[in-house]
Structure 1
Amino acid sequence: MATTDASMHDEIQAEASQGTVVNFGFWIYLMSDVIIFSMLFAGFVVLSTSYAGGPTGRELFELPGVFLETLALLFSSLTYGLVMISLRQGNKRRVQGWLLVTFLLGACFIGLELHEFLSLALEGHGPQRSGFLSAFFTLVGTHGTHVTFGLLWILVMVGQVAYKGLTPAVASRLTRLSLFWHFLDIVWIAVFSTVYLGGMYR
């Protein structure tokens, strides 16, 4: 009996130690993302008036559509907050449900963004048109790529919750996904303010 208790204690200690390492690594990843987006924002600001005789942001951007994108992502952040509340309550079904709602809102955001990119490209305003558009597609596209990765992560977590339940390991992964998703929300607010709203006044 004593041997079994000692073995269980060792397993718990090993899991806690591994969780600490994983969390530390995740924070390093997030900080690297902060650096990447900071560089992309800096590049956009430098090139934001390099139109090369082409269209400006005021001529290209349709704020109603971008506002819908923003609402979709903001509400997805809210629904992920409900995921975490359901997790603390130990309600597996609600965790899965709110994860799926978050996924749908994120997918709506990506769909609207792809529609915007395709419309610009078909009108001849692709990233090769000017420095401004190159910086625009790079910054907004990088954010969209991160959201797409987040959507895949959400689907993986839906499967893990269904298969494994709300174990400590699954809860830890959901918490890291929460940090990632809210981080993308914050970045998008900066994108909306700097790129779209700022572009209407340049």
Structure 2
Amino acid sequence: MSVDVATLDSHPEEDHVLPTRQHITGFGFYIYLLSDGILFAALFAAFAVLRGATDGGPDSHALFSARNALIETACLLTSSFTCGMAMLACDRRNRIMTLVGFLVTAALGVMFITLEVREFSDLIARGAGPDRSAFLSSFFTLVSTHGIHVTCGLIWLMVLLVQFLGRGFTSAMVRRFLCFSLFWHVLDVVWIAIFTFVYLIGGYL
């Protein structure tokens, strides 16, 4: 009776180790995204309550720029699209297009943060800083929390790209790109809510 050496060398129980780790990582990351959702829900609620507490100072109609908000939205929406295209290239194991897609995503994210910092600087220069009123405190807290998330996402993406250049399409690398993609799309959804309720409804309607 012949014995298959490959069978002896294989360990069936190990075949389930990696999927189990992937499932645990995925579950934990979804829990994190849900916790972020709770955080932003609380900040939106605080803004809704305090939006009229201007203490005699300027309100949203007098402060917000439609042009700046629209450009920020276009940058983030486009970055979400390029992130999705990068993930499609990742699924096809297309190294160049994956790299290009994520680099464009990063560039658009940097543009978004630059515009947001410029907006904050302009508001503070006009005497409308976070210490001016409860309304502005809630505005700066909500929008800057989103901006901090975007900044952390950009740092995360840069680290991933450095790892990707050295390791290529390993299962761990693909999983990390997937987690980043989910994170980035959630930030896009949060920004749409900010644009709608803070800038559009709060500032112009």
TM-score (ref. length: structure 1): 0.96
Q: How does 1:87-106 map to 2 (within 5 A)?
A: 87-106=90-109
Q: Which of the numbers 134, 146, 150 marks the counterpart of 1:131? A: 134
* Aligned partner of residue 200 in structure 1, secondary structure: helix
Structure 1: tracts of 5 or more residues without a match: none
Q: Which of the numbers 5, 13, 22 marks the counterpart of 2:10? A: 5
> How far off is 1:173 after superposition?
0.9
| 8 Å Cα contact 1:87/1:95 also seen in 2 | yes
Q: How does 1:74-93 map to 2 (within 5 A)?
A: 74-93=77-96
C-alpha distance after superposition, 1:151-175 (max 9, x if no partner): 0111111112111101111111111
Aligned CA RMSD, in angstroms, stands at 1.2
State the aligned residue count: 200
Q: Does residue 187 of structure 1 match 2:204?
A: no
> How far off is 1:35 after superposition?
0.4
2: CA distance between counterparts of 1:114 and 1:65? 11
Q: Which of the numbers 89, 109, 115 marks the counterpart of 1:112? A: 115
> How far off is 1:11 after superposition?
4.0
Q: How does 1:33-48 map to 2 (within 5 A)?
A: 33-48=36-51
> How far off is 1:130 after superposition?
0.3
Q: Structure 1: which amino acid aligns with 2:55? A: A
1: CA distance between counterparts of 2:91 and 2:204? 45
Q: Which of the numbers 65, 68, 76 marks the counterpart of 1:65? A: 68
> How far off is 1:69 after superposition?
0.4
Q: Which of the numbers 157, 161, 164 marks the counterpart of 2:164? A: 161
Q: Structure 1: which amino acid aligns with 2:129? A: G
Highest CA radius of gyration, 1 or 2? 2
> How far off is 1:81 after superposition?
0.8
> How far off is 1:12 after superposition?
3.6
Q: Which of the numbers 20, 23, 30 marks the counterpart of 1:20? A: 23
> How far off is 1:19 after superposition?
1.1
2: CA distance between counterparts of 1:151 and 1:185? 13
| 8 Å Cα contact 1:44/1:135 also seen in 2 | yes
> How far off is 1:3 after superposition?
3.6
Identical columns (%): 44
Structure 2: tracts of 5 or more residues without a match: none
Q: Structure 2: which amino acid aligns with 1:119? A: D
